[in-house]
Amino acid sequence: MGGGGGENRVDNHDDDDDDWELAAGAALADVTLVLVGKVGSGKSATANSILGDEAFESKCSYAGVTQTCQKKSTTVQDGCLIRTINVIDTPGLFDMDIKAEDVRREIVKCMDMAKDGIHAMLMVFSATSRFSCEDEKTIETLKSFFGDKILDHMILVFTRGDEVGGETSWKNMLSDSAPTYLQDILKLFENRVVLFENKTSSTQDRQAQRKKLLDAVDFVVSSNHGKPFSNQLFTQIQEVHHRQKEANSEVYSSMQETDSYISLITKMVEEKLNGTILRMEQQLLKEQEARLDIQNEMTKAILRSEEDIRRLRLSLEKAEQESNNAREENKRFRESEKASKEQEKQTEAEIQKLKEKMEKDREEREEEIRRLRDDLEKEREERQKQSGCIIL
Protein backbone atom coordinates (compact mmCIF):
# COMPACT_ATOMS: atom_id res chain seq x y z
CA MET A 1 0.00 0.00 0.00
CA GLY A 2 1.64 3.31 1.13
CA GLY A 3 4.95 2.02 -0.29
CA GLY A 4 3.54 2.17 -3.83
CA GLY A 5 3.80 5.93 -3.61
CA GLY A 6 7.60 5.70 -3.46
CA GLU A 7 8.13 8.08 -6.36
CA ASN A 8 6.30 10.81 -4.37
CA ARG A 9 8.06 10.10 -1.13
CA VAL A 10 11.25 11.83 -0.21
CA ASP A 11 12.81 10.05 2.79
CA ASN A 12 15.15 12.84 3.75
CA HIS A 13 14.77 12.78 7.55
CA ASP A 14 15.68 10.23 10.17
CA ASP A 15 12.97 11.36 12.54
CA ASP A 16 10.03 8.98 12.22
CA ASP A 17 7.47 11.78 12.31
CA ASP A 18 9.10 13.80 9.57
CA ASP A 19 9.82 10.78 7.44
CA TRP A 20 7.10 11.59 4.92
CA GLU A 21 7.26 14.51 2.59
CA LEU A 22 5.04 14.97 -0.42
CA ALA A 23 6.28 17.14 -3.27
CA ALA A 24 4.06 20.22 -3.52
CA GLY A 25 1.03 19.65 -5.74
CA ALA A 26 1.92 15.98 -6.25
CA ALA A 27 -0.64 13.22 -5.70
CA LEU A 28 0.21 9.99 -3.93
CA ALA A 29 0.17 7.05 -6.33
CA ASP A 30 -1.25 4.71 -3.73
CA VAL A 31 -3.83 5.77 -1.18
CA THR A 32 -5.86 3.85 1.37
CA LEU A 33 -9.32 5.06 2.30
CA VAL A 34 -11.48 3.63 5.09
CA LEU A 35 -15.22 4.22 5.13
CA VAL A 36 -16.86 4.40 8.55
CA GLY A 37 -20.31 5.45 9.69
CA LYS A 38 -23.64 4.24 10.93
CA VAL A 39 -25.37 1.15 9.55
CA GLY A 40 -27.15 2.01 6.31
CA SER A 41 -25.55 5.44 5.92
CA GLY A 42 -24.33 4.46 2.44
CA LYS A 43 -20.74 3.36 3.09
CA SER A 44 -20.78 0.47 0.61
CA ALA A 45 -22.63 2.51 -2.03
CA THR A 46 -20.05 5.30 -1.68
CA ALA A 47 -17.20 2.79 -1.81
CA ASN A 48 -18.70 1.44 -5.06
CA SER A 49 -18.96 4.97 -6.47
CA ILE A 50 -15.29 5.55 -5.68
CA LEU A 51 -14.28 2.24 -7.22
CA GLY A 52 -16.59 2.73 -10.20
CA ASP A 53 -17.78 -0.81 -9.69
CA GLU A 54 -20.43 -2.68 -7.70
CA ALA A 55 -17.68 -4.30 -5.63
CA PHE A 56 -19.49 -4.23 -2.28
CA GLU A 57 -23.01 -5.33 -1.48
CA SER A 58 -25.19 -2.28 -0.95
CA LYS A 59 -28.90 -2.51 -0.41
CA CYS A 60 -31.91 -1.37 1.56
CA SER A 61 -32.20 -3.40 4.74
CA TYR A 62 -33.46 -3.26 8.32
CA ALA A 63 -30.27 -4.98 9.49
CA GLY A 64 -26.62 -4.26 8.76
CA VAL A 65 -25.66 -5.49 5.28
CA THR A 66 -21.87 -5.36 5.50
CA GLN A 67 -20.86 -7.77 8.24
CA THR A 68 -17.10 -7.66 8.01
CA CYS A 69 -14.39 -5.33 6.74
CA GLN A 70 -13.51 -5.80 3.11
CA LYS A 71 -10.91 -4.20 0.91
CA LYS A 72 -11.03 -3.59 -2.85
CA SER A 73 -8.70 -1.61 -5.06
CA THR A 74 -8.90 0.18 -8.33
CA THR A 75 -6.49 2.06 -10.52
CA VAL A 76 -7.20 5.47 -11.94
CA GLN A 77 -5.35 7.53 -14.49
CA ASP A 78 -4.53 10.91 -12.96
CA GLY A 79 -2.68 12.89 -15.62
CA CYS A 80 0.37 10.78 -16.38
CA LEU A 81 0.15 9.07 -13.00
CA ILE A 82 -1.54 5.70 -12.55
CA ARG A 83 -2.96 5.73 -9.04
CA THR A 84 -4.13 2.82 -6.91
CA ILE A 85 -7.07 3.60 -4.67
CA ASN A 86 -7.56 1.06 -1.89
CA VAL A 87 -11.00 1.21 -0.37
CA ILE A 88 -11.87 -0.51 2.92
CA ASP A 89 -15.59 -0.89 3.61
CA THR A 90 -16.60 -1.51 7.22
CA PRO A 91 -19.74 -2.57 9.09
CA GLY A 92 -21.36 0.07 11.33
CA LEU A 93 -18.58 -0.32 13.92
CA PHE A 94 -19.83 2.23 16.40
CA ASP A 95 -23.50 1.35 16.33
CA MET A 96 -24.99 0.64 19.75
CA ASP A 97 -26.16 -2.89 18.99
CA ILE A 98 -22.84 -4.32 17.77
CA LYS A 99 -21.14 -6.73 20.17
CA ALA A 100 -17.85 -5.54 21.69
CA GLU A 101 -15.95 -8.63 20.48
CA ASP A 102 -17.18 -8.04 16.90
CA VAL A 103 -16.02 -4.45 17.08
CA ARG A 104 -12.63 -5.60 18.39
CA ARG A 105 -12.26 -8.20 15.65
CA GLU A 106 -13.31 -5.80 12.90
CA ILE A 107 -11.02 -3.01 14.08
CA VAL A 108 -8.06 -5.38 14.13
CA LYS A 109 -9.06 -6.65 10.68
CA CYS A 110 -9.46 -3.13 9.31
CA MET A 111 -6.11 -2.01 10.69
CA ASP A 112 -4.53 -5.15 9.33
CA MET A 113 -5.92 -4.33 5.87
CA ALA A 114 -4.57 -0.79 6.19
CA LYS A 115 -1.37 -1.92 7.84
CA ASP A 116 0.70 0.88 6.24
CA GLY A 117 -1.70 3.47 7.55
CA ILE A 118 -4.88 5.25 6.55
CA HIS A 119 -4.56 8.23 4.22
CA ALA A 120 -8.15 9.30 4.64
CA MET A 121 -10.99 8.13 6.84
CA LEU A 122 -14.32 8.84 5.18
CA MET A 123 -17.00 9.46 7.77
CA VAL A 124 -20.27 8.69 6.00
CA PHE A 125 -23.61 10.29 6.92
CA SER A 126 -26.92 10.20 5.13
CA ALA A 127 -27.93 13.72 4.07
CA THR A 128 -31.60 12.79 4.61
CA SER A 129 -31.27 11.58 8.21
CA ARG A 130 -31.39 13.71 11.30
CA PHE A 131 -27.89 14.42 12.68
CA SER A 132 -28.26 12.76 16.07
CA CYS A 133 -26.30 12.50 19.33
CA GLU A 134 -25.23 9.06 18.08
CA ASP A 135 -23.55 10.65 15.03
CA GLU A 136 -21.81 13.11 17.34
CA LYS A 137 -20.68 10.25 19.56
CA THR A 138 -19.30 8.31 16.54
CA ILE A 139 -16.89 11.14 15.75
CA GLU A 140 -16.01 11.50 19.43
CA THR A 141 -15.48 7.72 19.79
CA LEU A 142 -13.18 7.62 16.76
CA LYS A 143 -11.27 10.56 18.20
CA SER A 144 -11.06 8.87 21.55
CA PHE A 145 -10.00 5.50 20.08
CA PHE A 146 -7.47 6.67 17.49
CA GLY A 147 -6.49 9.99 19.11
CA ASP A 148 -7.14 13.57 17.96
CA LYS A 149 -4.78 13.17 14.98
CA ILE A 150 -7.37 11.05 13.18
CA LEU A 151 -9.34 14.29 12.61
CA ASP A 152 -6.54 15.48 10.31
CA HIS A 153 -7.29 12.51 8.06
CA MET A 154 -11.05 12.68 8.16
CA ILE A 155 -13.35 13.58 5.27
CA LEU A 156 -17.10 13.95 5.78
CA VAL A 157 -19.18 12.30 3.08
CA PHE A 158 -22.92 12.94 2.90
CA THR A 159 -24.85 10.46 0.76
CA ARG A 160 -28.31 10.73 -0.85
CA GLY A 161 -27.45 14.07 -2.45
CA ASP A 162 -30.09 13.22 -5.09
CA GLU A 163 -32.78 13.12 -2.39
CA VAL A 164 -31.97 16.54 -0.93
CA GLY A 165 -32.10 18.31 -4.29
CA GLY A 166 -28.37 18.58 -5.00
CA GLU A 167 -25.48 20.62 -3.67
CA THR A 168 -27.13 24.08 -3.40
CA SER A 169 -30.24 23.04 -1.50
CA TRP A 170 -28.14 20.71 0.69
CA LYS A 171 -25.86 23.64 1.62
CA ASN A 172 -28.93 25.76 2.41
CA MET A 173 -30.26 22.90 4.52
CA LEU A 174 -26.96 22.73 6.43
CA SER A 175 -26.86 26.44 7.14
CA ASP A 176 -30.56 26.50 8.06
CA SER A 177 -30.89 23.50 10.30
CA ALA A 178 -27.55 21.84 11.15
CA PRO A 179 -27.13 21.48 14.94
CA THR A 180 -24.28 23.45 16.55
CA TYR A 181 -21.99 20.42 16.82
CA LEU A 182 -22.35 19.69 13.08
CA GLN A 183 -21.90 23.38 12.19
CA ASP A 184 -18.64 23.43 14.18
CA ILE A 185 -17.43 20.21 12.57
CA LEU A 186 -18.31 21.54 9.11
CA LYS A 187 -16.30 24.69 9.80
CA LEU A 188 -13.37 22.54 10.95
CA PHE A 189 -13.61 20.31 7.86
CA GLU A 190 -14.06 23.21 5.44
CA ASN A 191 -12.36 21.64 2.38
CA ARG A 192 -13.21 18.10 3.36
CA VAL A 193 -16.97 17.80 3.03
CA VAL A 194 -18.35 16.01 -0.02
CA LEU A 195 -21.89 15.26 -1.17
CA PHE A 196 -22.48 12.01 -3.03
CA GLU A 197 -25.30 10.90 -5.28
CA ASN A 198 -24.65 7.19 -5.35
CA LYS A 199 -27.75 6.48 -7.41
CA THR A 200 -26.96 8.84 -10.25
CA SER A 201 -26.95 7.23 -13.68
CA SER A 202 -24.99 10.08 -15.23
CA THR A 203 -21.41 9.01 -15.98
CA GLN A 204 -20.41 12.66 -15.99
CA ASP A 205 -21.85 13.24 -12.50
CA ARG A 206 -20.24 10.02 -11.22
CA GLN A 207 -16.85 11.12 -12.53
CA ALA A 208 -17.32 14.65 -11.16
CA GLN A 209 -18.16 13.49 -7.62
CA ARG A 210 -15.32 10.96 -7.65
CA LYS A 211 -12.94 13.73 -8.74
CA LYS A 212 -14.25 15.94 -5.93
CA LEU A 213 -13.62 13.21 -3.38
CA LEU A 214 -10.12 12.49 -4.72
CA ASP A 215 -9.38 16.23 -4.55
CA ALA A 216 -10.43 16.14 -0.88
CA VAL A 217 -8.24 13.04 -0.36
CA ASP A 218 -5.28 14.82 -2.01
CA PHE A 219 -5.93 17.86 0.18
CA VAL A 220 -5.85 15.65 3.30
CA VAL A 221 -2.77 13.78 2.08
CA SER A 222 -0.83 16.95 1.31
CA SER A 223 -1.98 18.61 4.58
CA ASN A 224 -0.38 15.63 6.33
CA HIS A 225 2.75 15.85 4.14
CA GLY A 226 1.92 12.51 2.52
CA LYS A 227 2.06 10.72 5.86
CA PRO A 228 -0.83 8.32 6.42
CA PHE A 229 -2.50 8.05 9.81
CA SER A 230 -0.74 5.47 11.92
CA ASN A 231 -0.23 4.78 15.59
CA GLN A 232 1.33 2.23 17.92
CA LEU A 233 -1.25 -0.39 16.97
CA PHE A 234 -0.37 -0.06 13.29
CA THR A 235 3.32 -0.41 14.16
CA GLN A 236 2.53 -3.65 16.01
CA ILE A 237 0.56 -4.93 13.04
CA GLN A 238 3.40 -4.10 10.68
CA GLU A 239 5.67 -6.05 13.01
CA VAL A 240 3.38 -9.11 12.71
CA HIS A 241 3.46 -8.84 8.92
CA HIS A 242 7.20 -8.52 9.00
CA ARG A 243 7.48 -11.69 11.09
CA GLN A 244 5.02 -13.53 8.87
CA LYS A 245 7.09 -12.58 5.85
CA GLU A 246 10.19 -13.97 7.55
CA ALA A 247 8.27 -17.10 8.50
CA ASN A 248 7.14 -17.60 4.90
CA SER A 249 10.65 -17.25 3.65
CA GLU A 250 11.50 -20.02 6.12
CA VAL A 251 14.23 -18.01 7.78
CA TYR A 252 11.97 -17.61 10.75
CA SER A 253 9.18 -20.09 11.33
CA SER A 254 7.71 -19.44 14.70
CA MET A 255 4.00 -19.16 13.86
CA GLN A 256 3.34 -19.38 17.57
CA GLU A 257 5.06 -16.04 18.03
CA THR A 258 2.96 -14.54 15.23
CA ASP A 259 -0.19 -15.83 16.93
CA SER A 260 0.91 -14.35 20.21
CA TYR A 261 1.51 -11.02 18.41
CA ILE A 262 -2.01 -11.11 17.00
CA SER A 263 -3.45 -11.84 20.42
CA LEU A 264 -1.27 -9.04 21.81
CA ILE A 265 -2.68 -6.63 19.21
CA THR A 266 -6.22 -7.82 19.90
CA LYS A 267 -5.54 -7.24 23.59
CA MET A 268 -4.20 -3.76 22.86
CA VAL A 269 -7.29 -2.97 20.78
CA GLU A 270 -9.43 -4.32 23.59
CA GLU A 271 -7.62 -2.15 26.13
CA LYS A 272 -7.94 0.87 23.83
CA LEU A 273 -11.63 0.16 23.32
CA ASN A 274 -12.16 -0.27 27.04
CA GLY A 275 -10.26 2.96 27.61
CA THR A 276 -12.41 4.62 24.95
CA ILE A 277 -15.62 3.30 26.50
CA LEU A 278 -14.43 4.44 29.93
CA ARG A 279 -13.53 7.89 28.56
CA MET A 280 -16.89 8.12 26.78
CA GLU A 281 -18.68 7.03 29.97
CA GLN A 282 -16.73 9.59 31.99
CA GLN A 283 -17.53 12.23 29.39
CA LEU A 284 -21.19 11.19 29.49
CA LEU A 285 -21.11 11.44 33.28
CA LYS A 286 -19.49 14.88 33.04
CA GLU A 287 -22.10 15.94 30.49
CA GLN A 288 -24.86 14.62 32.76
CA GLU A 289 -23.35 16.50 35.71
CA ALA A 290 -23.01 19.63 33.61
CA ARG A 291 -26.62 19.19 32.42
CA LEU A 292 -27.70 18.75 36.05
CA ASP A 293 -25.76 21.88 37.04
CA ILE A 294 -27.42 23.78 34.22
CA GLN A 295 -30.82 22.41 35.29
CA ASN A 296 -30.13 23.49 38.89
CA GLU A 297 -28.99 26.91 37.72
CA MET A 298 -32.09 27.15 35.56
CA THR A 299 -34.34 26.14 38.47
CA LYS A 300 -32.64 28.77 40.66
CA ALA A 301 -32.96 31.36 37.90
CA ILE A 302 -36.64 30.45 37.45
CA LEU A 303 -37.22 30.76 41.21
CA ARG A 304 -35.34 34.06 41.23
CA SER A 305 -37.32 35.41 38.34
CA GLU A 306 -40.58 34.16 39.91
CA GLU A 307 -39.62 36.03 43.08
CA ASP A 308 -38.77 39.11 41.00
CA ILE A 309 -42.12 38.80 39.21
CA ARG A 310 -43.90 38.45 42.58
CA ARG A 311 -42.09 41.52 43.91
CA LEU A 312 -42.81 43.45 40.73
CA ARG A 313 -46.47 42.42 40.87
CA LEU A 314 -46.64 43.60 44.51
CA SER A 315 -45.06 46.94 43.72
CA LEU A 316 -47.30 47.24 40.67
CA GLU A 317 -50.35 46.58 42.87
CA LYS A 318 -49.04 49.11 45.39
CA ALA A 319 -48.44 51.65 42.63
CA GLU A 320 -51.93 50.97 41.28
CA GLN A 321 -53.38 51.41 44.78
CA GLU A 322 -51.47 54.66 45.22
CA SER A 323 -52.59 55.92 41.86
CA ASN A 324 -56.21 54.97 42.73
CA ASN A 325 -55.86 56.80 46.03
CA ALA A 326 -54.42 59.82 44.25
CA ARG A 327 -57.26 59.66 41.73
CA GLU A 328 -59.82 59.46 44.58
CA GLU A 329 -58.10 62.30 46.36
CA ASN A 330 -58.12 64.32 43.20
CA LYS A 331 -61.79 63.54 42.66
CA ARG A 332 -62.59 64.54 46.21
CA PHE A 333 -60.57 67.73 45.85
CA ARG A 334 -62.33 68.56 42.59
CA GLU A 335 -65.73 67.86 44.20
CA SER A 336 -64.92 69.99 47.22
CA GLU A 337 -63.62 72.71 44.90
CA LYS A 338 -66.89 72.49 42.97
CA ALA A 339 -68.85 72.58 46.26
CA SER A 340 -66.93 75.57 47.51
CA LYS A 341 -67.51 77.34 44.18
CA GLU A 342 -71.21 76.56 44.56
CA GLN A 343 -71.08 77.90 48.10
CA GLU A 344 -69.26 81.00 46.88
CA LYS A 345 -71.92 81.53 44.24
CA GLN A 346 -74.69 81.06 46.82
CA THR A 347 -73.01 83.47 49.21
CA GLU A 348 -72.57 85.99 46.41
CA ALA A 349 -76.28 85.61 45.54
CA GLU A 350 -77.22 86.06 49.20
CA ILE A 351 -74.97 89.12 49.46
CA GLN A 352 -76.58 90.46 46.30
CA LYS A 353 -80.01 89.76 47.72
CA LEU A 354 -78.98 91.40 51.01
CA LYS A 355 -77.59 94.38 49.12
CA GLU A 356 -80.82 94.70 47.13
CA LYS A 357 -82.84 94.35 50.33
CA MET A 358 -80.71 96.98 52.08
CA GLU A 359 -81.09 99.28 49.03
CA LYS A 360 -84.83 98.75 49.10
CA ASP A 361 -84.92 99.36 52.88
CA ARG A 362 -82.81 102.50 52.39
CA GLU A 363 -85.11 103.72 49.63
CA GLU A 364 -88.21 102.93 51.80
CA ARG A 365 -86.62 104.73 54.77
CA GLU A 366 -85.75 107.72 52.60
CA GLU A 367 -89.29 107.65 51.28
CA GLU A 368 -90.55 107.44 54.84
CA ILE A 369 -88.29 110.34 55.88
CA ARG A 370 -89.41 112.34 52.85
CA ARG A 371 -92.97 111.58 53.71
CA LEU A 372 -92.40 112.53 57.38
CA ARG A 373 -90.59 115.67 56.31
CA ASP A 374 -93.52 116.52 53.97
CA ASP A 375 -96.01 115.79 56.76
CA LEU A 376 -93.95 117.90 59.11
CA GLU A 377 -93.82 120.69 56.55
CA LYS A 378 -97.53 120.47 56.03
CA GLU A 379 -98.11 120.50 59.79
CA ARG A 380 -95.86 123.54 60.19
CA GLU A 381 -97.68 125.35 57.40
CA GLU A 382 -100.97 124.37 59.01
CA ARG A 383 -99.78 125.68 62.36
CA GLN A 384 -98.57 128.98 60.76
CA LYS A 385 -101.87 129.44 59.10
CA GLN A 386 -103.67 128.88 62.40
CA SER A 387 -101.45 131.22 64.42
CA GLY A 388 -101.17 133.82 61.68
CA CYS A 389 -97.45 134.19 62.21
CA ILE A 390 -94.51 132.59 60.70
CA ILE A 391 -92.34 130.54 62.95
CA LEU A 392 -88.77 130.49 61.73
Ligand X SMILES: Nc1nc2c(ncn2[C@@H]2O[C@H](COP(=O)(O)OP(=O)(O)OP(=O)(O)O)[C@@H](O)[C@H]2O)c(=O)[nH]1
Among 10, 26, 65, 81, binds ligand X (CB under 6 A): 65
How far is the CA of 345 from the CAs of 208, 332, 333, 350, 359, in angstroms?
A: 103, 19, 18, 9, 21
- Binding residue count for ligand X, defined by CB under 6 A: 24
91 near ligand X, rule: CB under 6 A: yes
Among 32, 41, 209, 230, binds ligand X (CB under 6 A): 41
Q: Show Cβ contacts of residue 22 under 8 Å, excluding neighbours closer than 6 positions.
A: 8, 9, 28, 221, 222, 225, 226
Determine the interface stretch with Mg ion among 35-43, 259-267, 278-286, 336-344 (rule: CB under 5 A).
Answer: 35-43
Judge residue 205's burial from the number of C-beta atoms within 10 Å of its C-beta, 0-12 exposed, 13-18 middle, 19 or more buried.
middle
Q: Per CB under 6 A, which of residues 338..367 are in contact with ligand X? A: none
Instruction: Look at residue 130 and give the partner it binds from ligand X, Mg ion, none, a contact being a CB closer than 5 to 8 Å depending on partner kind.
Output: none
- The residue among 163 and 293 lying less far from ligand X, judged by its C-beta, is 163
HSE-CB for 61 with a 13 A CA cutoff: 13
Smallest distance from the beta carbon of 99 to ligand X, in angstroms? 15
Q: By rule CB under 6 A, what string of x and - marks binding of each residue 138-177 to ligand X?
A: ---------------------xxxxx--------------
Judge residue 106's burial from the number of C-beta atoms within 10 Å of its C-beta, 0-12 exposed, 13-18 middle, 19 or more buried.
buried
- The residue among 44 and 144 lying less far from Mg ion, judged by its C-beta, is 44
| 3-class secondary structure, 391 | coil
Q: Where are the extended beta strands (E) located within the chain?
A: 30-37, 70-78, 81-89, 120-126, 154-159, 193-195
Determine the interface stretch with ligand X among 11-19, 60-68, 78-86, 290-298 (rule: CB under 6 A).
Answer: 60-68
The residue ranges that bind ligand X (CB under 6 A) are 39-45, 58-60, 64-66, 91-92, 159-163, 196-199
Q: Which residues bind Mg ion (CB under 5 A)?
A: 43-44, 65-66
